[in-house]
C-alpha cells in the first residue's frame, strides 16, 4: 500500500511542477516612449475680431526643439460660419526655422472681404494649424469674428440691409415682391445729406398731357433711433421682383444720397443678389 502511494506521488510531481513551480514566460519589454514634439506652435490670441474691408494681423508664437531643416505648418480653416468668399489669407502656411532650442514670434495677415452690405449674421472663422511631418504641438485654434461694416456712399453715412426675402404681392398682376430691412446710419459727417428713393416706378403712359406712373415699392415701417453718436433710420421696404411685361427682368430698388459731403450723388442699388453703391 505504501509503495502504491509513493508511485502515485512520483507520477503527479511533473504535473505539479509544470503548473506552478516552473519558470514563467519572458515578459516583453515596454514600448519605447514616443519621440518628443519637434516644435510647438500656437496663436498669440484665442479670439480676434476684424471688420469687413479691413485687414487683421494674426500673431503666432513658436518653440523649435529640434529641427534639422525649416518646416511649413499649414493654416487650416473650418467654414461653418464664414465662407471662403468672406476672407483672404496673406499666406497659406507659416515657416519655422531649423535649429535647436529656439523660440520666436511671427504674424500673417487676414483680410475680411466687404460684401454687398447685406448682413449675413454671425460670421466666425475657426483657424487652426495642420502638420503631418512628425510629432508636433499645434496648440488650440483661434476664432476670428468677421463684423459687418455695411457700405458708405458718403462720409458719415453707412447703410446695411438684411438678406432679401420673397413676399406674395397684393397685386395679381405682379408675381412676387421682394422685401428687406435697411439700416441707414448718419454720423457727424453726414449732416445735410438727403435720401431720395428713385424707384422702381411703373410707367402708366400719358393721360392727356400728364405722364402717369405708379410706385412699385412700399415702405411698411420707418423708425428712427439714436446710438453711439449717430442717428439710425430703419426701413422695412418691399418692391417688385419682376416687371409687368418682362417676367425675367428684376427691378432694382435705388436710393440716392444727395447734398452734404456726398460727392457725385451716389446711389445704393438693391436687388435680390444684394446692394451695391453706384457712383
Exposed e or buried b per residue across 216-250, where buried means at least 16 C-beta atoms within 10 angstroms of its C-beta: bbeeeeeeeeeeeebebeebebbbbbbeeeeeeeb
Q: Note the pLDDT of residue 173.
A: 62
Q: Where are the alpha helices (DSSP H) in 101-229?
A: none
Q: Note the pLDDT of residue 70.
A: 95
As a whole number of angstroms, the distance between CA 87 and CA 48 comes to 14
Is the model more confident about 253 or about 250?
253
As a whole number of angstroms, the distance between CA 146 and CA 122 comes to 8
Model confidence at 19: pLDDT above 60: no
- C-beta separation of 201 from 213 below 8 A: yes
Lowest mean pLDDT among 8-17, 58-67, 156-165: 8-17
Task: Cell 397684393: give the residue.
Answer: 170
Model confidence at 217: pLDDT above 80: yes
Is the model more confident about 214 or about 15?
214
As a whole number of angstroms, the distance between CA 140 and CA 275 comes to 37
- The DSSP code sequence of 208-264 is TTEEEEEESEEEEEEEEEEETTEEEEEEEEEEESS-SS-TTPPP-EEEEEESTT--S
Is the model more confident about 198 or about 119?
198
Is the model more confident about 13 or about 35?
35
Average pLDDT, the chain: 81
Label residue 16 by pLDDT band (50, 70, 90).
very low
The residue-averaged pLDDT of 148-173 equals 77
Q: Note the pLDDT of residue 22.
A: 57
Q: Note the pLDDT of residue 110.
A: 96
SS3 for 85?
helix
Label residue 164 by pLDDT band (50, 70, 90).
confident
Q: Note the pLDDT of residue 8.
A: 44
Q: Note the pLDDT of residue 9.
A: 43
Q: Note the pLDDT of residue 268.
A: 86
C-alpha dist (Å) from residue 251 to 184, 235, 254, 277: 21, 19, 9, 16
Cβ within 8 Å of residue 186, ≥6 positions away: 156, 157, 193, 230, 231, 232, 233
Q: Note the pLDDT of residue 242.
A: 61
As a whole number of angstroms, the distance between CA 241 and CA 271 comes to 8
Is the model more confident about 213 or about 109?
109
Cβ atoms within 10 Å, residue 19: 8
φ and ψ of 2, to 5 deg: -65, -35
Q: Note the pLDDT of residue 7.
A: 39
As a whole number of angstroms, the distance between CA 98 and CA 68 comes to 5
Cβ within 8 Å of residue 164, ≥6 positions away: 118, 178, 179, 180, 270, 271, 272
pLDDT tens digits, one per residue of 57-103:
999 999 999 999 999 999 999 877 788 888 999 999 999 999 999 99
Q: Note the pLDDT of residue 52.
A: 83
Cell numbers describing residue 65:
526643439
Q: Note the pLDDT of residue 138.
A: 96
Model confidence at 273: pLDDT above 50: yes
Helix and strand element counts for the chain (H, E):
1, 21
Amino acid at each position: 500500500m505504501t509503495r502504491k502511494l509513493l508511485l502515485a506521488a512520483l507520477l503527479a510531481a511533473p504535473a505539479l511542477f509544470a503548473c506552478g513551480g516552473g519558470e514563467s514566460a519572458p515578459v516583453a519589454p515596454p514600448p519605447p516612449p514616443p519621440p518628443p514634439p519637434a516644435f510647438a506652435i500656437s496663436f498669440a490670441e484665442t479670439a480676434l475680431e476684424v471688420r469687413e474691408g479691413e485687414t487683421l494681423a494674426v500673431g503666432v508664437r513658436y518653440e523649435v526643439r529640434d529641427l534639422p531643416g525649416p518646416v511649413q505648418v499649414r493654416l487650416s480653416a473650418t467654414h461653418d460660419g464664414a465662407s471662403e468668399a468672406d476672407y483672404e489669407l496673406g499666406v497659406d502656411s507659416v515657416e519655422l526655422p531649423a535649429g535647436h532650442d529656439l523660440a520666436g514670434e511671427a504674424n500673417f495677415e487676414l483680410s475680411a472681404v466687404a460684401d454687398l452690405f447685406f448682413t449675413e449674421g454671425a460670421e466666425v472663422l475657426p483657424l487652426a494649424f495642420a502638420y503631418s511631418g512628425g510629432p508636433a504641438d499645434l496648440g488650440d485654434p483661434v476664432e476670428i469674428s468677421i463684423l459687418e461694416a455695411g457700405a458708405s456712399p458718403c462720409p458719415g453715412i453707412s447703410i446695411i440691409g438684411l438678406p432679401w426675402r420673397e413676399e406674395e404681392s397684393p397685386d395679381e398682376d405682379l408675381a412676387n415682391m421682394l422685401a428687406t430691412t435697411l439700416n441707414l446710419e448718419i454720423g457727424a459727417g453726414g449732416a445735410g445729406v438727403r435720401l431720395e428713393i428713385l424707384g422702381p416706378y411703373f410707367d402708366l403712359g400719358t393721360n392727356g398731357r400728364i405722364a402717369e406712373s405708379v410706385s412699385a415699392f412700399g415702405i411698411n415701417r420707418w423708425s428712427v433711433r439714436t446710438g453711439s453718436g449717430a442717428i439710425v433710420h430703419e426701413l422695412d421696404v418691399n418692391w417688385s421682383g419682376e416687371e409687368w411685361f418682362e417676367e425675367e427682368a428684376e427691378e432694382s430698388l435705388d436710393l440716392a444720397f444727395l447734398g452734404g459731403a456726398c460727392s457725385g450723388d451716389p446711389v445704393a442699388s438693391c436687388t435680390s443678389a444684394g446692394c451695391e453703391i453706384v457712383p
